[in-house]
């Protein structure tokens, strides 16, 4: 192999730059030229790509976001869009593509592979919903950001005997919310995977109030049946059900911004290096992930369209610990 390319796609995640750096430098170590594609699949379609040197990826390890830019491309979802992408890769004589991203991005990578183009995916999303990796790039940093907010909210909540609905990201997957609830000592958690009606939440919070808790923290995944806004709207007209006064905080994209922590830098570096190792071994159409402490490859066909399930034990534990 002489030439490969790398792109970042979908929602950015802290640690993506460390993964890009690892792909470029380990690729150069294999004797290859490495092209960076700007703005994900959109850049593949427009042919926006250029060679990256080892120096070009210097000083980015600690930076949040992605130096290549990211996008969610509607055109790439069409066959015509993907054909344009493959033509541009061929024009630049690129022999393989590394896709750093989450579920949607790896589905795109699988489509390219099915059309005959060699690809390797790198597991990256703050949602931690990707099958084929126990943990993905960005999760740890995003979780720590959510925890910092929860820790701060607890102090002001206690001062005023308030309940807080704290909304974290996760449209379809409640991993971030569940992990933040456990690590943040929340009184309740609302997940997309498990529906909870306002009356049930009210009963839990009221019971906490009666037990003498000075505050109640509810971690809400944005994709829960009742997100923070909807739940707050219900309690506007049912104030008496809680005991506590109620406030709402949405952390949102703050979780995706900022510098990656040590765990994400190391994970991203190992996965990026794992991608070029996989290519050097001749593996194609696989996701490079982290399973049981090892860097692994899983065929993309086995992971696309699947969402990693929440650990039922963690769900149970969150409830027990909230007492």
Where do contacts with ligand F6P occur on this chain (CB under 6 A)? 11, 102, 125-127, 169-171, 222, 256
Q: Tell which phi-psi region holds residue 196, choosing left (phi > 0), alpha (psi between -120 and 50) or beta.
A: beta
> Which of 272, 318, 267 is closest to 128 using CA atoms?
267
Closest Cα partner for 66 from 119, 107, 104, 24?
24
Give 24 or 304: the residue with its C-beta nearer to ligand F6P.
304
Smallest distance from the beta carbon of 270 to ligand F6P, in angstroms? 21
- Can you tell me whether residue 257 is helix, strand or coil? coil
The distance of closest approach from Cβ of residue 268 to ligand F6P in the complex, given in angstroms and rounded to an integer, is 16
CB 256 to ligand F6P: min, Å: 6
Q: In terms of CB distance, is 30 or 171 closer to ligand F6P?
A: 171
Enumerate the active-site residues.
127
Considering beta carbons, is residue 125 or 298 the nearer one to ligand F6P? 125
CB of 118 to ligand F6P, least distance (A): 26
Give the neighbor-by-neighbor strand order of the sheet with 96-101: 49-52, 33-37, 3-8, 96-101, 119-123, 286-291, 294-299
How far apart are the C-alpha atoms of 123 and 128, rounded to whole Å?
9
Closest-CA residue to 195 (of 216, 181, 217, 174): 174
Separation in Å, CA 175 to CA 169, 170, 198, 224, 250: 9, 8, 21, 12, 17
Of residues 33 and 264, the one with the C-beta less far from ligand F6P: 264
Minimal distance, residue 133 CB to ligand F6P, in Å: 14
Q: Considering the complex, state which of residue 103 and residue 276 has its C-beta at the smaller distance from ligand F6P.
A: 103
Rg (CA), the chain: 22
């Amino acid at each position: 192999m002489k030439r490969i390319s790398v792109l970042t796609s979908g929602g950015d995640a802290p640690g993506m730059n460390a993964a890009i750096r690892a792909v470029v430098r380990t690729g150069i170590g294999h004797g290859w030229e490495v092209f960076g594609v700007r703005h994900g699949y959109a850049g593949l379609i427009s042919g926006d790509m250029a060679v990256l040197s080892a120096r070009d990826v210097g000083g980015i390890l600690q930076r949040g976001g992605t130096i290549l830019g990211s996008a969610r491309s509607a055109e790439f979802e069409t066959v015509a869009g993907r054909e344009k992408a493959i033509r541009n890769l061929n024009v630049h004589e690129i022999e393989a593509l590394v896709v750093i991203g989450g579920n949607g991005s790896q589905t795109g990578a699988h489509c390219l592979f099915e059309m005959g183009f060699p690809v390797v995916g790198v597991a990256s999303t703050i949602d931690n919903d990707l099958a084929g990796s126990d943990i993905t790039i960005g999760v740890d940093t995003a979780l720590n950001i959510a925890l910092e907010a929860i820790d701060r909210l607890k102090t002001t909540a206690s001062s005023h005997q308030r309940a807080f609905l704290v909304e974290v990201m996760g449209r379809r997957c409640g991993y971030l919310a569940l992990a933040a609830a456990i690590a943040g000592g929340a009184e309740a958690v609302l997940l997309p995977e498990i529906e909870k009606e306002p009356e049930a939440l009210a009963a839990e919070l009221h019971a906490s109030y009666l037990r003498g808790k000075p505050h109640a923290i509810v971690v809400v995944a944005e994709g829960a049946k009742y997100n923070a806004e909807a739940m707050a709207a219900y309690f506007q007209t049912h104030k008496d059900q809680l005991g506590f006064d109620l406030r709402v905080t949405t952390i949102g994209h703050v979780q995706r911004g900022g510098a990656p922590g040590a765990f994400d830098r190391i994970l991203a570096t190992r996965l990026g290096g794992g991608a070029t190792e996989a290519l050097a071994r001749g593996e194609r159409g696989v996701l490079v992930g982290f399973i049981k402490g090892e860097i692994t490859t899983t065929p993309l066909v086995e992971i696309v369209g699947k969402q990693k399930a929440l650990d039922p034990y963690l769900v149970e534990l969150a409830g027990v610990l909230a007492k």
